Chain A
Amino acid sequence: MHSIEVSGLKKYFPVRKRLFSGKAQHVKAVDGVDFAVERGETFGLVGESGCGKTTVGRVIVRLYNPTEGRVSFEGTDISSLTQRELLPYRKRMQMIFQDPFSSLDSRMTVGDIVGEAIDIHGLASGRERTDRILAILDRVGLSKWHASRYPHEFSGGQRQRIGIARALVVEPSFIVCDEPISALDVSIQAQIINMLEEFQENMGLTYLFIAHDLSMVKHISTRIGVMYLGGLVETAGSDELYKNPLHPYTQSLLSAIPIPDPDEAVRSRRIILEGEIPSPIDTPPGCKFRTRCPMAGSECGDENPALREAAPGHYVACRLI
């Protein structure tokens, strides 16, 4: 069964109108995205900054309202619920944030940060509340005397653990992990990744793992979706995607990963993309990637290709394949 199913999702942000240009412009942050995440799996969403991956995550947990399209969570369409109607779902879908410094309220103790969800949902009070907070802190590897301390007394890795405890205390079934390790040191990243994997096994969690670090995404994900300029260009199982990338963008993205081995780094063939990502305000007609695509032909300008199945379970949006 699907944990999350996203279909035809669009999110446009209005940009301030130019004084004399007349019509209002929109940043097309997410421009038609479809995917589904099975229960218990980790779906990795990768792409460069500005590709809309974070916006997808935020629309799913309804931090933003979608412009178009629907998001269903365990079979219920949640894209048009009011914030009040959404409240019971907030216990079941949570989010882990990127920045371990700005994601914790610096004026609250760790106990209160973790306990806030318990208070909001009225899950427990008094002794029971304290016990629940201490239990979850223990699970993320913090001690009970940490509960009375403030976030600035902790290192980045410990703060990220606090953020994970805050998300887990309501016992959700689905978590959006929005670049949870990109601000951490290398030796700490592996600690957090292992912890997330452990919780997934023990609690049957489903993850949407958003990142730009492809090697970590490959490691943690069951399936991966590659985004470029607001749209998915390829989805496949993570091994399949790495062994057999079809879309030229995926190929160049994979070849750009620095390899931690001097000999392989010399041997590997890098596809270095020319230029930069075009502005998402006036996207080029046709395939959005064709301005940087090393293989682009004249037919690519006609229409934006849709995802189609190139091999079992392997979808790609490119006319040349």
Chain B
Amino acid sequence: MTPRTETARSYESIPPALFEPAAPEERASDEAVRPNVTYWQDAWRRLKGNTPAMLSLVSIVVIVACAVVIPIIKPDYFSNDFEVANRWPDAAFWFGTDNFGRDIFTRIWFGARYSLIIAFAASFLNLVIGIIYGGVSGFAGGKADLVMMRIIDVIYSVPQTIYVILFMVLMGPGLHSIIFALAVSYWLPMARIVRGEILQLKGQEFILAARVLGASNARILFRHLIPNCLGQIIVTMTLSIPSAIFTEAFLSFIGLGIPVPRASWGTLASESISYMRIAPYQLLFPSLAICLTILAFNILGDGLRDALDPKMRS
């Protein structure tokens, strides 16, 4: 080593003991100390920081809970009692009664059951069809992808509602037919999103690595590709629920929905139209229920998008 250059500066004197070599165990661990958070924990943390999304989530939980519990407590949604017909909201009937004297509060929560079951079931089926179709299309690539995407383009060229109406007319009104009609018409966005994600993930090195290890196509698709687009899938599904609720309400409103005396929110709104002048509350509460639920799912979906988007991760 070259001799030290003498400089004018003086340094604080240090006791010789401190110039002893440090023992290995004294050195701080050089382990990376990033907290152990999974993708989902991190997403949940970000979602918690988003007040509107959390409020929406709470509202959705409350709505679902009420839809489950209230019909059990007050099971009577169908008996007519003309004594109390068209009552305005009061202590006995919180949301008033309809022209058959049925409690609107009870009917709204029965309606919630139908509306939500339809929305969840249809979205779940969209998810299944969309993931399979989009997954196969993106994964296969090439000509198969080209053909499958042109098929989607063709289906897209006709408004979705027309398909739904067509199916309903063919199959007749009812819970199953609504779910089926929604499921077969609303999976297109899901398929496109899954395809896009897979197309982009397919060329990444971790997929190549799995191939070099000898992983089968099914393994690559289900163990690597789909789990990696789960975030996008959840967002798309959350955002497809409001459109299912809305379409169901619309179908019921034009008389293609759930047959009476059972009722979804759409049916309730449709029935009350004729009494709008004398009993506007009969229209108000079902409409409010539809609006609030759709709003909550939309805000939650946006929040999830922010929380699950990997580009937002820091």
Query: Hey, which bits of chain A sit against chain B, CB under 8 A?
Result: 58, 61, 63, 86-87, 90-91, 93-95, 97-99, 102-108, 116-117, 120-121, 149-150, 152-155, 158, 163, 166, 170
Residues in A neighbouring B143, C-beta threshold 8 A: none
B206 and A103 form a contact (CB under 8 A): yes
A105 and B228 form a contact (CB under 8 A): yes
What are the 3 closest A-B residue pairs judged by CB atoms, nearest first? A90-B214, A103-B205, A97-B205
B312 at the A interface (CB under 8 A): no
Residue ID in chain A nearest B32 by CB atoms = A155
**Complexed CA–CA distance, A108 and B39 (Å):** 10
B32 and A120 form a contact (CB under 8 A): no
B14 at the A interface (CB under 8 A): no
B176 at the A interface (CB under 8 A): no
Sample (5) of A-B pairs whose CB atoms are under 8 Å apart = A94-B213, A103-B208, A105-B224, A106-B228, A153-B37
Tell me the smallest distance from the CB of A62 to a CB of chain B, in Å: 8
B209 and A90 form a contact (CB under 8 A): no
**Complexed CA–CA distance, A244 and B283 (Å):** 91
Name B211-257 residues within 8 Å CB distance of A. Answer: 211-216, 219, 223-224, 227-228, 230
B214 and A86 form a contact (CB under 8 A): yes
A105 and B206 form a contact (CB under 8 A): yes
**Complexed CA–CA distance, A93 and B215 (Å):** 14
Query: Hey, which bits of chain B sit against chain A, CB under 8 A?
Result: 32, 34, 36-39, 204-206, 208-216, 219, 223-224, 227-228, 230
A61 and B215 form a contact (CB under 8 A): no
Residues in A neighbouring B223, C-beta threshold 8 A: 108, 116
Residue ID in chain B nearest A93 by CB atoms = B212
Chain B contact residues: over half helix, strand or loop, or mixed? helix
A99 and B205 form a contact (CB under 8 A): yes
A63 and B208 form a contact (CB under 8 A): yes
B205 and A98 form a contact (CB under 8 A): yes
Residues in B neighbouring A158, C-beta threshold 8 A: 32
**Complexed CA–CA distance, A93 and B209 (Å):** 12
Residue ID in chain B nearest A143 by CB atoms = B31
B39 and A106 form a contact (CB under 8 A): yes
**Complexed CA–CA distance, A233 and B39 (Å):** 47
**Complexed CA–CA distance, A102 and B34 (Å):** 19
Residues in B neighbouring A104, C-beta threshold 8 A: 206, 209
Tell me the smallest distance from the CB of B43 to a CB of chain A, in Å: 12
B39 and A150 form a contact (CB under 8 A): yes
A117 and B213 form a contact (CB under 8 A): yes
Residues in A neighbouring B204, C-beta threshold 8 A: 102-103
Given known contacts A95-B209, A103-B209, A107-B230, what 7 new A-B pairs fall within 8 Å (CB)?
A: A97-B208, A102-B206, A105-B210, A107-B227, A116-B223, A120-B213, A170-B213
Tell me the smallest distance from the CB of A228 to a CB of chain B, in Å: 25
B208 and A95 form a contact (CB under 8 A): yes
A107 and B208 form a contact (CB under 8 A): no
Residues in A neighbouring B39, C-beta threshold 8 A: 106-107, 150, 152
Tell me the smallest distance from the CB of B16 to a CB of chain A, in Å: 31
